[in-house]
Amino acid sequence: MNKNDSFRHLPAIKTLGQVSCCFALALSLASCSGTTTGPTQPKDPATAEIKRGVELAQKGQLAQAIAEFDKAIKVNPRSSMAYNNRGLMLSKQKKVRQALDDYNEAIRIDPTYAGAYSNRGSLYDDYRMHKEAKNDYDKAISLNPQNSAPFVNRAQIQLKEGQFDRAIADFSTAIELIPNDGALYRYRAYAYEKQGNKELADKDKQKADELEKH
């Protein structure tokens, strides 16, 4: 068996890019701010367009979502969220250059925008630009250590590179943030196995089985 076969058959982890309205899709769409640095930021004048775009994105209507984010950018050319969101839609359409341009613009407008760094890192990661991806994940984590996605994505690169100690540390942090995701335990179990730590690997597998029954 190829040494990477077991890695390929691990379950997918949900580390989707972040369509942002107040940083995370799940937060209130009615209170979007111009950046993601805190509630004291001024309200984005393109809030209505961003809200509609996010709602369309949630439904998988990418082209329509892009059209709304286009409108948002016309209303407010300095809306970092609109650029980030449009970049994510473009990346899903495999329009890599355009997506990268949008992420870069979101970061230029707001250098503290953790979600844009995380999304740009995911784009680099998709095209095996691991050094650039890790740099962006590092930055995203430094700006918002409460978001699990860059920890998980960075850990998966570390697994591929054989950096098992670092991968375990990142998966452990992600588990602290989202303790009910069985896939995270399976990935950490894989890293423990590669270290020869069968006891901890088996414990994580058992935990994953318990979570996946529910």
Q: Quick check: do 1-12+147-214 and 19-132 share a fold? A: yes
pLDDT tens, position by position, 13-69: 534 444 443 333 322 233 333 333 333 346 788 999 999 999 999 999 999 999 999
pLDDT at 33: 34
User: Distance (Å, rounded) from C-alpha 157 to C-alpha 175?
Assistant: 17
User: Distance (Å, rounded) from C-alpha 29 to C-alpha 60?
Assistant: 17
pLDDT at 69: 96
Architecture of domain 1-12+147-214: Alpha Horseshoe (1.25)
The residues of the chain scoring below 50 in pLDDT are 1-9, 14-41
Domains of the chain by residue range? 1-12+147-214, 19-132
Architecture of domain 19-132: Alpha Horseshoe (1.25)
